[in-house]
Amino acid sequence: MRPVQAPYPTTRLRRPRQNQQIRDLVRQNTLTVKDLIWPVFVRSGEGIEEPLTSMPGVIRRSVDRIVHAAEEAADLGIPAICIFPYTRLEDRTEDCAGAWDPENNTNRAIRAIKAAVPDLLVMTDVALDTYNINGHDGFVEGEEIVNDRTVEALVKMTLAQADAGADIIGPSDMMDGRIGAMRAGLEAAGHQRVMILSYAAKYSSAFYGPFRDAVGASGALKGDKATYQMDPGNSDEALRLVERDLREGADMIMVKPGLPYLDICRRVKDAFGAPTFAYQVSGEYSMIKAAADNGWVDEDKTMMESLMAFKRAGCDGILTYFAPAAARLLQG
Ligand code: PBG
């Protein structure tokens, strides 16, 4: 597309910027509360709301308190919540069996939320890092993060979440072949309606730092995730990954992190036109929070501008820890 315009002064591009009414009228992109998915952290215990120092304003909640968060999300009109479990180092194992335990905190939280707020969509996380003794998303054998044995475990994890009532499965592991295996597993188990939002283009990123604290993986993680997550220097590879996941049965796809990868969001949306999400990750959130807490930027305005950027880049929705705060602003 090439915009056509007369030379100055016939064209004055400031004309349609002269007041709020005309700016509202010509604005191309809008952000609404219906674009938001709220990631929340669940832990064991009861009546617990534990603030996270590396993510100011974010709270780890026991299952009973997650239900309060879900009710809050529904009241604010947020369509979906995404659950991440916190596991203490001493509860982590090499076989990651907690990941597919029907009674793990994630699955208990799914059932509790679905019982209390049935219309709120519940998304999950599928990866082993929140249960793994070594903090990796897959099984570790020697020096290697093994692929195929991990995929089998991820399918078990997926089915346990679907059985608990999850609406949207969120594989964040970046193993090869997992989407096809999960889709086949879900179909075979009668979970035809369960959706998959694939973390298709997920980069090996330092912006995940605060999240790893939040789920208890920081102390556990040995090495980095560069053999399965993407190299930040690549962009064509993102298109290959997204195409692969769509062909394997992903209903929706995600680019992660968000703001540093808006070019990828745009390319992916233009290339495939699939429902496209970005994850504004923990480090992005905490950077804005830290700057705002220091009085260096205006928190509300920076938050809203950062979220609008995703819409401009072609995203249909955003996973963001700002979801309730943004929803409150959007609802006036
Ligand atoms: C791990 C997972 C990560 C995030 C979501 N799922 C971290 C990682 O890959 O190490 C990051 C989310 C965030 O930083 O907010 N499967």
Computed from CA positions of residues 219, 222, 228, 231, in that sequence, does the dihedral angle turn out positive or negative? Answer: positive
Q: Which residues on adjacent β-strands are paired with residue 61?
A: 42, 49
Top-tier CATH class for 30-330 = alpha beta
Say how many Å lie between the CA of residue 10 and the centre of ligand 1: 51
**AA identity, residue 133:** I
Distance CA(325)–CA(259), nearest Å, equals 18
Mean pLDDT across 240-253: 98
Distance CA(71)–CA(330), nearest Å, equals 18
Mean pLDDT across 249-260: 98
Say how many Å lie between the CA of residue 106 and the centre of ligand 1: 16
Active site residues: 202, 256
**pLDDT at residue 218, rounded to an integer:** 84
Q: Is the pLDDT assigned to residue 104 strictly greater than 90?
A: yes
User: Nearest to residue 187, comparing CAs of 249, 241, 253?
Assistant: 249
212 and 127 in contact (C-beta within 8 Å)?
Answer: no
Mean pLDDT across 56-77: 98
Residues 6 or more apart whose CB falls under 8 angstroms from that of 40 comprise: 61, 66, 69, 81, 82, 83, 84
Say how many Å lie between the CA of residue 212 and the centre of ligand 1: 7
137 and 128 in contact (C-beta within 8 Å)?
Answer: yes
Mean pLDDT, the chain, whole residue set: 97
Distance CA(149)–CA(35), nearest Å, equals 35
Q: Tens of pLDDT along 291-300? A: 999 999 999 9
Is the Cβ atom of 172 under 6 angstroms away from ligand 1? yes
Say how many Å lie between the CA of residue 45 and the centre of ligand 1: 23
Report the percent of the chain where pLDDT is more than 70.
Answer: 100
Q: How many CB atoms lie within 10 A of CB 110?
A: 27
Is the Cβ atom of 125 under 6 angstroms away from ligand 1? yes
On the CB side of 47, how many CA atoms lie within 13 Å of its CA? Answer: 0
Residues 6 or more apart whose CB falls under 8 angstroms from that of 270 comprise: 314
282 and 214 in contact (C-beta within 8 Å)?
Answer: yes
Is the Cβ atom of 211 under 6 angstroms away from ligand 1? yes
Is the Cβ atom of 281 under 6 angstroms away from ligand 1? yes
Q: Using CA atoms in the order 192, 247, 83, 224, what is the torsion angle rounded to 10 degrees?
A: 150
- CA-nearest residue for atom 3, ligand 1, is 208
Q: How confident is the model at residue 332 (pLDDT cuts 50, 70, 90)?
A: confident
- Parse the chain into domains and list their residue ranges: 30-330
**pLDDT at residue 290, rounded to an integer:** 98
- CA-nearest residue for atom 11, ligand 1, is 208
Q: Which residues on adjacent β-strands are paired with residue 82?
A: 39, 123
Mean pLDDT across 16-23: 98
Q: Tens of pLDDT along 169-228? A: 999 999 999 999 999 999 999 999 999 999 999 999 999 999 998 888 888 898 999 999
Computed from CA positions of residues 195, 329, 85, 207, in that sequence, does the dihedral angle turn out positive or negative? Answer: positive
Mean pLDDT across 142-164: 98
Q: Tens of pLDDT along 123-136? A: 999 999 999 999 99
Q: Is the pLDDT assigned to residue 101 strictly greater than 90?
A: yes
Is the Cβ atom of 137 under 6 angstroms away from ligand 1? yes
